[in-house]
């Protein structure tokens, strides 16, 4: 089953729901959602003691901000009707026709929406490790909302959507290597370069990880 880009059943033929495919997609979505709090523990164990609560919050807040953005228009921008570069507002507010997704059209559209939402949440959360101690909360929240809209959604469109121009060229995105990891990695590096050193940074004092068991739990 192709779980990252879905073929939409646009015919009037009744498609049979496959309970196995549906259960696996819901399980996959739940596992990806669990990655965000796990990431909070992973990063939280690596930062200094003074930044632990800030790091936990920066990761977890993405679950609230990005989920709302995804339901309002993020999914529509990424997978809705439009051109090969950007979607439209046709599916805003999750006003979706009931379609079946997957190679064999065996699970419903909202399951696919939930699965892709989990990736949309974890991606900006990965950037938080480069921002902790460098940016205040409100600017960070605005940054996450805008980054998800203008960086993640277009990339997801290009590679995950059947409409995307890179997808049509046959580009393969293994486990989100391009859409998730490259985008968050480059963005984190740019943020660190622009924002500069963390508050109270001392180049002569090595940074000590706060709690390595947290990092192991997050891993």
Note the pLDDT of residue 1: 39
Helix (H, G, I), strand (E, B) or coil at 176: helix
CA distance 92 to 105: 23
Note the pLDDT of residue 15: 61
CA distance 12 to 15: 9
CA distance 211 to 47: 8
Considering only CA atoms, which of 49, 45, 26 is closest in space to residue 37?
A: 45
Note the pLDDT of residue 88: 87
CA distance 9 to 24: 20
Note the pLDDT of residue 25: 85
Note the pLDDT of residue 10: 37
Note the pLDDT of residue 11: 37
Please give the model's pTM, rounded to 2 decimal places: 0.85
Question: Parallel, antiparallel, or unpaired for β 100-101 and 107-108?
Answer: antiparallel
CA distance 203 to 189: 19
CATH topology of domain 19-218: Ammonium transporter fold (1.10.3430)
Note the pLDDT of residue 14: 45
List phi, psi (to 5°) of 65. Answer: -65, -50
Note the pLDDT of residue 61: 95
Rounded mean pLDDT for each run of 10 residues along the chain, 219 residues in total: 44 60 87 93 87 90 95 92 88 78 69 91 94 91 96 94 89 85 94 87 76 85
CA distance 98 to 56: 37
Considering only CA atoms, which of 82, 89, 90, 113 is closest in space to residue 100?
A: 113
Note the pLDDT of residue 142: 96
């Amino acid at each position: 089953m192709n779980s990252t880009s879905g073929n939409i059943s646009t015919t009037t033929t009744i498609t049979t729901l496959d309970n196995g495919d549906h259960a696996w997609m819901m399980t996959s979505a739940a596992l990806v959602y669990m990655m965000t709090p796990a990431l909070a523990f992973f990063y939280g164990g690596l930062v200094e003691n003074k930044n632990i609560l800030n790091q936990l919050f920066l990761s977890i807040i993405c679950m609230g901000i990005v989920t709302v953005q995804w339901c309002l228009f993020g999914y529509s921008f990424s997978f809705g009707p439009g051109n090969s570069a950007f979607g439209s507002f046709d599916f805003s507010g999750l006003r979706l026709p009931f379609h079946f997704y997957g190679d064999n059209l065996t699970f419903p559209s909202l399951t696919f929406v939930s699965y892709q939402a989990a990736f949309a949440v974890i991606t900006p959360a990965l950037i938080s490790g480069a921002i902790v101690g460098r940016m205040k909360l409100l600017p960070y929240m605005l940054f996450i909302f805008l980054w998800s809209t203008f960086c993640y959604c277009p990339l997801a469109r290009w590679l995950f959507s059947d409409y995307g121009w890179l997808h049509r060229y046959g580009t393969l995105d293994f486990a989100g290597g391009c859409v998730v990891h490259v985008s968050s990695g480059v963005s984190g590096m740019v943020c660190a370069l622009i924002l500069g050193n963390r508050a109270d940074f001392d180049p002569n004092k090595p940074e000590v990880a706060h709690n390595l068991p947290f990092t192991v739990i997050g891993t």
